[in-house]
């Protein structure tokens, strides 16, 4: 056994170290003092005691040593290489004192507090300072009503119900869409999409369905919302932008040939005969009347194409 002022060592017969005192343990030492206190030791600088009297309350006490410096003065010293004092070590003493470091920590904490909760006396702008000062005066009235709930078993539920009693309930206007909420202040639960995703896969091979099938299934899972009174009584101004229950009726038609204005002359000269009747429609996509005229012209184009392909067969259509 070898004992020094810093540590102790126990050797065996072959001078192999069996135990060493003074070095940190390989694993943290945890001691449960009672139901509320837990002692945790890692090394001399990391010693903590956790106090948990009830669920939701936890206080952590740091009991480890906090040294001013963890290195030696000689680590930053410079050695003189020339002159009569060659070999001398010059200690670097340009380090902040404990009071200077504490003042620096206080300034950093003050800057963080000013960002999170600014005070009017710390602001330089006059208008902003006046606004913040007015808010502080108004909110100071609530400071006397603030209380800290007792750390009993159901203090969270009591605080939650007390907060809900202070929130006013908005009156019903009659234009709401969807289901009427019945649980006021309840926690929003995340929707479990596992069952929905299973229905979007093929039952035989387990692969995803096609885009058409998936679109149909999604439409069934999320049907169109019913129209409100303000949209129904809008004289049809929003009829083209709304979903219709059961799906809208798509008229039969043939897409028109789109030609830019700069290529119209070359198209008439090269693609059209001299005795051929050509109807040119100047339309705009962002205009509602142009879209209605385009739909009607597509139906006319479809009827003419059917008559060209089948001259002896009469063409019947619901749009005629």
Q: What is the mean pLDDT of residues 142-157?
A: 73
At residue 318, the pLDDT reads 42
> Higher model confidence: residue 246 or residue 52?
52
At residue 219, the pLDDT reads 78
305-309 own/partner pairs: CB under 8 Å, 24+ apart: 305/254
- What percentage of the chain exceeds 70 in pLDDT? 77
At residue 208, the pLDDT reads 81
- Strand 17-21's sheet: what is its strand order? 2-3, 8-11, 17-21
At residue 320, the pLDDT reads 41
Give the pTM.
Answer: 0.30
Most confident of the following: 29-33, 143-147, 285-289: 29-33
Cα–Cα distance, 169 to 184 (Å, whole number): 9
pLDDT digits (tens, 9 = 90+) for 199-227: 778 888 888 888 888 888 777 777 776 66
Cα–Cα distance, 302 to 316 (Å, whole number): 11
Residue 319: pLDDT band (50, 70, 90) is very low
What is the three-class DSSP state of 272?
coil
Q: Where are the domains of the chain?
A: 1-82, 97-141, 194-225, 271-312
Burial label, 303 (beta-carbon count in 10 A; 0-12, 13-18, 19+): middle
- What percentage of the chain exceeds 90 in pLDDT? 5
At residue 87, the pLDDT reads 86
What DSSP element (H or E) covers 11?
strand 8-11
Cα–Cα distance, 62 to 64 (Å, whole number): 6
Average confidence score pLDDT of the chain: 77
Cα–Cα distance, 315 to 304 (Å, whole number): 9
Q: What is the mean pLDDT of residues 290-314?
A: 82
Range of weakest confidence among 78-87, 162-171, 222-231: 222-231
pLDDT digits (tens, 9 = 90+) for 237-283: 555 555 555 555 555 678 888 888 888 888 888 888 888 888 888 88
What DSSP element (H or E) covers 132?
helix 126-143
Tokens for 152, please give them.
């009993």
Q: What is the mean pLDDT of residues 38-67?
A: 87
The counts of H helices and E strands in the chain are 8, 9
**37 pLDDT more than 90:** yes
Q: Are strands 46-51 and 37-43 parallel, antiparallel or unpaired?
A: antiparallel
Q: What is the mean pLDDT of residues 277-291?
A: 84
Among candidate residues 212, 220, 180, the one with its CA nearest the CA of residue 196: 220
Q: What is the mean pLDDT of residues 306-310?
A: 81
Contacts of 104 (CB under 8 A, 6+ apart): 96
At residue 191, the pLDDT reads 56
């Amino acid at each position: 056994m070898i004992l020094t002022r810093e540590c102790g060592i126990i050797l065996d017969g072959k001078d192999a170290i069996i135990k060493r005192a003074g070095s940190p343990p390989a694993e943290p030492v945890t001691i449960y003092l009672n139901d509320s206190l837990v002692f945790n030791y890692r090394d001399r600088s990391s010693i903590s005691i956790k106090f948990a009297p009830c669920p939701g309350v936890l206080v952590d006490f740091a009991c480890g040593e906090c040294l001013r410096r963890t290195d030696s003065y000689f680590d930053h010293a410079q050695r003189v290489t020339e002159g009569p004092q060659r070999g001398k070590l010059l200690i670097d003493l340009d380090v902040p004192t404990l009071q200077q470091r504490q003042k620096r920590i206080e300034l950093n904490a003050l800057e963080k507090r000013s960002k999170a909760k600014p005070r009017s006396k710390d602001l330089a702008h006059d208008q902003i300072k006046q606004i913040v000062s007015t808010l502080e005066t108004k909110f100071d009235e609530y400071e006397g009503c603030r209380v800290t709930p007792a750390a009993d078993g159901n203090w969270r539920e009591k605080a939650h119900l007390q907060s809900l009693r202070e929130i006013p309930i908005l009156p019903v206007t009659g234009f709401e869409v969807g289901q009427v909420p019945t649980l006021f202040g309840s926690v929003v639960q995340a929707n479990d999409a596992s069952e929905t995703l299973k229905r979007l896969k093929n039952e035989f091979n387990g692969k995803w369905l096609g885009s058409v099938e998936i679109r149909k299934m999604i439409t069934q899972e999320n049907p169109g919302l019913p129209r409100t009174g303000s949209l129904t009584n809008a004289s049809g101004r929003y009829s083209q932008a709304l979903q219709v229950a059961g799906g809208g009726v798509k008229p039969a038609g043939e897409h028109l040939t789109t030609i830019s204005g700069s290529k119209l002359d070359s198209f008439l000269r090269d693609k059209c005969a001299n005795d051929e009747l050509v109807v040119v429609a100047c339309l705009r996509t962002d205009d509602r009347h142009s879209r209605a005229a385009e739909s009607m012209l597509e139906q006319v184009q479809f009827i003419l194409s059917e008559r060209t392909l089948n001259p002896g067969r009469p063409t019947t259509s619901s749009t005629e």
